[in-house]
Amino acid sequence: MAQVLEFKLPDLGEGLTEAEIVRWLVEVGDVVAVDQPVVEVETAKAMVEVPCPYGGVVTARFGAEGTELPVGAPLLTVAVGETADGRPAGDGSGAGTAAADGARDGASGGREPAAEGSGNVLVGYGTSQAPARRRRVRPAAPAVNGRSRAPEPVRETRPAGTPQAAPGARTGRTAPADGPVPVISPLVRRLARENGLDLRKLAGSGPDGLILRADVEHALRAAGTQDRTETTAATAPAATTTATPAATGGPARSTAGAASVTRVPLKGIRGAVADKLSRSRTEIPDATCWVDADATELMRTRAAMNAAGGPKISVLALLARICTAALARFPELNASVDTGAREIVRYADVHLGFAAQTERGLVVPVVRDAHTRDAESLTAEFARLTEAARAGTLTPAELTGGTFTLNNYGVFGVDGSTPIINHPEAAMLGVGRIVPKPWVHEGELAVRQVVQLSLTFDHRVCDGGTAGGFLRYVADCVEQPAVLLRTV
């Protein structure tokens, strides 16, 4: 006998608590295999295709595209095993009969079948065997003439002025005043919240009084119709009042101005960036120092490397190589602060983050063990991570664990900036555009390739002398790349 297993949104790693459904990859009735991707979600860090640990027929999906779901919320249900007529649940001949309501009500008591094992492991799911879960069984209503009788509808009462279901709307049990509200879908909760609808006063038409989206929409339509009827007679007096603001002692509110306001939710990557930058500004007493440097010799060195054949070396890779050499001389900046323990944590390895602007927002991929890589290896890793960032396929591990950040804002055509430190790191090196400028070189005025370098640092981990020494060493290496030969 086929059993319906519920697949919940897993913890995708790094303590994420929610994800937004971007695109469903399966429909209700589709046959899915073990570890087949079923939905594409966007977390605060990356886009992730989530594989299902069960094989069978999709009987229900929870949440429309664009819906935010918390970790642990149901994603979909899958019928596994054999159907009542002996066919496998994955047989397409029975797929069309598996409906969303069957996902909630079709699971019966008894032993769970031994389902296929999942070899694709994300945090929170993916095992050698399907987990032995027990589903609650909804008590059946007394049978009448061999058929199950539907529960008696409960008519609700409401205070005046609150939305209610129109006559003929789906009805069911209302939630007790002190109990949980029978709502599964976050979309239903958000729809009610945005329209000021009290779900406790709404009777759900779903199983066991479950409030569905159709219930909320029906109540809102009914409330809108009633409000229009009640306000028709008051339209003329209201217009007269707003037309004479002087009589009320203040200006009338402009409805046209209110209509032009757009509210954009802080969620996904935008929300994660906002939270991290706010925390950085709140916790870190940062300071910034900067210096102009003549990058002419650096650009000539790069041109000579690329002329020698082999993979092309990027400017960012050379700057990263300079950064790692500078951090070896000034390890105080390759650190973070443990506020709870009141300790400075210094790192022996350099995991170098770099700012990458994508269509989805700003992300900071991390090059692991950057101090062990040469310019060619750094170039290749920067290219790989940048491409993954633009495609939205970076993993949480590739977006966390940095110890120092390199920010090349020169790609935006600007000279300088005072960047916000990427919490919980202790410093960030900013690099402006490299442009021809008048420069005194060997006692004479000349046109040279000039760049502005800035260092924002956490003043708790070091004083200005250390930060100035780090930045001066970076500038010296930019002006005379041969300086690096001392440490290569």
* pLDDT in 10s for each residue of the chain, 488 residues: 678 899 998 877 655 678 888 889 999 999 999 889 999 888 766 778 889 999 999 999 998 888 888 888 999 999 987 654 555 555 544 434 333 444 444 444 444 444 444 444 454 444 444 444 444 444 444 444 444 444 444 444 444 444 444 444 444 455 555 556 676 666 677 778 778 888 778 888 877 777 887 888 888 888 776 655 555 545 444 444 444 444 445 555 555 555 689 998 887 777 888 888 999 999 999 999 999 999 999 999 999 999 998 899 999 999 999 999 999 999 999 999 999 999 999 999 999 999 888 887 788 999 999 999 999 999 999 999 999 998 888 888 898 999 999 999 998 999 988 889 999 999 999 999 999 999 999 999 999 999 999 999 999 999 999 999 999 999 999 999 988 876 65
Catalytic residue among 371, 423, 441, 459: 459
pLDDT at 125: 46
Distance CA 251, CA 259 (A): 17
351 is catalytic: no
Q: Tell me whether the omega of the peptide bond preceding residue 424 falls within 30 degrees of 0, making it cis.
A: yes
Give the other-Cβ count within 10 Å of 466's Cβ. 16
Structure tokens at 392: 């939205």
Give every CB contact of residue 277 below 8 A, 6+ residues apart in sequence.
420, 423
CB 256 within 8 A of CB 412: no
Distance CA 84, CA 106 (A): 12
Give all strands (DSSP E) within 253-394, no chain letters. Answer: 286-294, 335-338, 343-346, 352-354, 356-358, 361-363, 366-367
Give the other-Cβ count within 10 Å of 28's Cβ. 19
* Sheet with 74-80: strands ordered across: 3-8, 74-80, 56-61, 31-32
- Which residues is 228 bridged to in the sheet? none
**Backbone φ, ψ for residue 112 (5° rounding):** -75, 140
| Secondary structure of 429-487 as H, E, C letters | EEECCCEEEEEEECCEEEEEEEEEEEEEEECCCCCHHHHHHHHHHHHHHHHCHHHHHHC
Structure tokens at 458: 């956490």
Residue bearing tokens 């706010």: 278
Structure tokens at 398: 């590739």
| Secondary structure of 127-177 as H, E, C letters | CCCCCCCCCCCCCCCCEECCEECCCCCCCCCCCCCCCCCCCCCCCCCCCCC
* Sheet with 18-24: strands ordered across: 47-52, 36-42, 18-24, 68-70
